[in-house]
Amino acid sequence: GENVEQHPSTLSVQEGDSAVIKCTYSDSASNYFPWYKQELGKRPQLIIDIRSNVGEKKDQRIAVTLNKTAKHFSLHITETQPEDSAVYFCAASFSGSARQLTFGSGTQLTVLP
Amino acid sequence: ETGVTQTPRHLVMGMTNKKSLKCEQHLGHNAMYWYKQSAKKPLELMFVYSLEERVENNSVPSRFSPECPNSSHLFLHLHTLQPEDSALYLCASSPGLVNIQYFGAGTRLSVL
């Protein structure tokens, strides 16, 4: 089945700096890659997603890049703010009998004021 | 709120109890999911329902039994659980099997 690896597991940055989280996936047929943000005690919420027909997508301070050849995708957060502190999960769609999401293990991002 | 409601929010049960988790979505979606979230581990997919039919069962122990009576409701029936089953159980729904998934707030389960 699909395997998604996420790095780093923890990341601390100063407010205003950029943060980058990387994920690799194993199933070359995967075609949908969302990123979820989960604040402490709250539900995971989608912040951005990308499909395999594009290489980059941006939404204000957040961007995602996809390299299909290398089978990796990354989340970029610029001008980080304390409210960006959360756990971020990447995921990839799994081409089994039903297309499901396989999640990475998460990155705890801490933005220091 | 995302339109996906889970009850109860917290549950403490003994190993011999039987309880049920409930999930309800008001988004008109046709796929629903149960996930288990344990500390420092990836979200683990347990069950997938599409149009009220179970599509995938990822080798979940039989002490977890799902039920999907209609496209808006999903249950997870629990019996004779183990302490290692303590976790946050998240429900999600999506308009299709590949599309964006919207999560509920979860049920924090503790098995004593």
Neighbours of A18 (CB within 10 A): 11
pLDDT at A95 (0 to 100) = 58
pLDDT at A93: 85
Size of interface A-B (CB pairs under 8 A): 51
Chain B residues 3-62 with a CB less than 8 Å from chain A: 33, 40-43, 45, 48, 50, 55-56
Output the DSSP codes for chain A: ---EEEE-SEEEEETTS-EEEEEEES-TT--EEEEEEE-TTS--EEEEEEETT-SEEEETTEEEEEETTTTEEEEEE-S--GGG-EEEEEEEEEESSSEEEEE---EEEEEE-
Measured between CB atoms, does A30 come within 8 Å of chain B? Answer: no
Q: How far is A15 from chain B (nearest CA, A)?
A: 25
Q: How far is A68 from chain B (nearest CA, A)?
A: 18
Predicted pLDDT at B99: 74
- Residue B7 one-letter amino acid: T
Choose the mutation target among B6, B25, B101 for the interface with A, i.e. most A CBs under 10 Å.
Answer: B101
Q: Which residue from A49, A89, A98 is facing B48, i.e. has the nearest CB?
A: A98
pLDDT at A29: 85
- Give A36: exposed, middle or buried? Use CB within 10 Å, 0-12, 13-18, 19+: buried
Along chain B (112 residues), what's the average pLDDT of each consecutive run of 10 residues? 90 92 95 90 88 81 94 95 95 84 95 92
Angle, CA of A88, A111 and A106, to the nearest 5°: 20
pLDDT of residue A98: 56
B29 vs A22: CA distance, rounded Å: 30
**Chain A within 8 Å of B104 (Cβ-Cβ)?**
yes
The conformation of residue B72, written as its DSSP 8-state character, comes to T
Q: Chain B closest CA to A99's CA: distance in Å?
A: 6
Token pair listed for A63: 């961007």
Cβ of A43 under 8 Å from any chain B Cβ?
yes
Beta bridge partner(s), residue A29? none
Cβ separation B105–A49 shorter than 8 A = no
Residues of chain A below pLDDT 70: 94-99
Q: Kindly list the residues from chain A whose CB atom is less than 8 angstroms away from the CB atom of residue B40.
A: 105
Look at residue A99 in the predicted model and tell me its pLDDT: 62
